[in-house]
Amino acid sequence: MGLILDSSVLITAERQGQNSRQMLTAISAVAGDTEIAMSVITLIELSHGVAGADSALRKVKRSQFIQKLLTAVAIHPVTTSIALRAGQIDGENQAKGLRLPLADLLIGVTALELQYSVATANLRHFGMVPGLKVISLYTAIEICYCAPRCRARRTARKKSPELAG
């Protein structure tokens, strides 16, 4: 079992002033002993954020965040099987009138192919990927970053059943 991080979780951590090590520690405290990884699509989204930074300092900080993240987690590519499965799901969703951004679809299908869950703050989009287990870590990261060993962490697990496992 593993966990693919969506950019929404990473962006939230970066905006809260966390470095990648702090963010991964907070996620591990909540998710337990599970492999934490990213899709190459998430890397593209993060790189886009570096390019769009509104100051030189923010650009440097975001670049450092990415570089440290690259040494800490596995990056999974979009394979042929991921592309085919994403195309099938996208076609089925569009036939039902559902639109899902391609980036989120590819991240979700990467998790499916690996039999992982996705950690995200974007429950709406990832909920449109059939069979995908979606975990909201947005609140949990906030709580754990403030006090990783405090009672609030246990409270967050009780309130959010997907975090209890």
Residue 51 Cα distances to 12, 44, 45, 56, 60, angstroms: 17, 11, 10, 10, 10
Give CA–CA dist 73/13, Å, rounded.
15
* pTM (2 d.p.): 0.80
14 close to 65: Cβ distance less than 8 angstroms: yes
Average pLDDT in the chain: 83
Please say if the pLDDT value at position 66 is more than 90: yes
What pLDDT is recorded for position 14? 83
Please say if the pLDDT value at position 20 is more than 50: yes
What pLDDT is recorded for position 147? 32
Burial readout 77-96 (b: 16 or more C-beta within 10 A, e: otherwise): ebeeebeebbeebbeebeee
Of 3-17, 59-73, 135-149, the one with minimum mean pLDDT is 135-149
Question: Which superfamily, per CATH, for 2-160?
Answer: 5'-nuclease (3.40.50.1010)
Nearest Cα residue to 136 out of 36, 5, 45, 24? 5
The alpha helices in the chain, defined as continuous H runs, are: 7-15, 20-31, 40-51, 56-72, 80-95, 102-114, 123-126, 138-146, 151-159, 161-164
What pLDDT is recorded for position 151? 36
Give CA–CA dist 143/154, Å, rounded.
10
Question: Domain map of the chain by residue range?
Answer: 2-160
Taking residues 143-149, report their average pLDDT: 34
